[in-house]
């Protein structure tokens, strides 16, 4: 039996396809609250202080098998999406349940959706070619309209990462594969302003600095988030199984592996109460989200 880690104990995985149903029965509510209590206990337990030890791991339902991005709202709710489908899912990461789904655009809208970010009450999904779909949050089952923005950066990079930096009112896009010859050998971040003025700026970090003492040959980010405690950009790279924390001025604060328990890490988020959440696509099993203490 696969399990989640809670204060050193192993219990059955608590989020399955069946777990996506509405939890209205009294016993279901009791189960959800018991999960919450166990997670709270694990977070408070000094034995789980090791940054490499998860405090919970939840299986994701089949519709999130190819989870390709995670983002938190200003009020702390977690959203994710599947690659290619314009469906956005709210995940209760503390109780291990699905809260709702809503849909972007008309029926059967598809694209190469790779990442998601939330700026205030606006959601953005990013495609690999640098297209941004902007839309509001929807109710459960609702379809919402969208506005399409072309960042014009698709010629420079292939993207899988986007996050919102509230201090600059800009989206931060991390290149997975750099196309510009002059930027080869660099981790490249673009800041895309959301206001009516401002220009796109870039932040480049040489691989030598990003890799440090690790044995990676390169770093190809698959998602990015902003650390709410210090404003650093925190990136995960699936192929290298790497985790980086980079200051707004380009210094590397953290460079370390995330370990073999993450077969395909495609999403990352950090809560205001210091929980790191990593989402993995399905490989030999279901997709998952894993929770750690942070930093």
pLDDT in tens, 125-135: 999 999 999 99
What total of structural domains would you count in the chain?
1
pLDDT tens digits, 4-39: 433 333 233 434 333 334 445 666 888 888 889 989
pLDDT greater than 60 at residue 282: yes
Percentage helix, strand, coil for the chain under 3-state DSSP, each rounded to 5: 15, 45, 40
pLDDT greater than 50 at residue 281: yes
The boundaries of the domain holding residue 153 are 3-293
pTM for the full predicted model: 0.91
* Residue 72, burial from CB neighbour count under 10 angstroms (0-12, 13-18, 19+): buried
pLDDT band for position 51 (50/70/90)?
low
Mean pLDDT to the nearest integer, 157-165: 98
What integer pLDDT is reported at residue 48 of this predicted model?
54
| CATH number of domain containing 201 | 2.110.10.10
The one-character DSSP state at 222 is: S
């Amino acid at each position: 039996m696969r399990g989640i880690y809670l204060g050193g104990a192993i219990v059955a995985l608590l989020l399955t396809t069946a777990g996506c149903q509405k939890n209205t029965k009294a016993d279901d509510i009791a189960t959800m609250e018991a999960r919450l209590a166990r997670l709270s206990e694990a977070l408070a337990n000094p034995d789980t202080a090791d940054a490499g030890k998860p405090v919970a791991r939840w299986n994701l339902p089949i519709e999130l098998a190819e989870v390709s991005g995670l983002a938190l709202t200003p009020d702390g709710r977690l959203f994710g999406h599947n690659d290619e489908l314009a469906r956005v899912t709210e995940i209760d990461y503390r109780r291990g349940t699905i809260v709702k789904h809503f849909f972007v655009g008309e029926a059967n809208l598809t694209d190469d959706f790779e990442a998601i970010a939330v700026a205030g009450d606006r959601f953005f999904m990013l495609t690999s070619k640098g297209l941004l779909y902007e839309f509001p949050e929807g109710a459960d089952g609702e379809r919402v309209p969208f506005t399409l923005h072309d960042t014009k950066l698709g010629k420079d990079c292939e993207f899988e990462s986007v996050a919102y930096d509230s201090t600059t009112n800009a989206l931060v896009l991390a290149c997975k594969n750099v196309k510009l010859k002059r930027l080869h050998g660099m981790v490249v971040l673009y800041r895309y302003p959301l206001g009516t003025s401002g220009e796109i700026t870039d932040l480049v970090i040489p691989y030598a600095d990003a890799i440090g003492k690790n044995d990676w040959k390169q770093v190809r980010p698959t998602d990015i988030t902003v650390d709410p405690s210090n404003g650093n950009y925190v990136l995960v790279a699936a192929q290298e199984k790497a985790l980086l924390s980079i200051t707004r001025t380009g210094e590397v604060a953290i460079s370390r592996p995330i370990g073999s328990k993450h077969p395909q890490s495609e999403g990352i988020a950090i809560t205001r109460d210091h929980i790191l959440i990593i989402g993995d696509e399905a490989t030999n099993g279901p997709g998952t989200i894993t929770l750690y203490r942070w930093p």
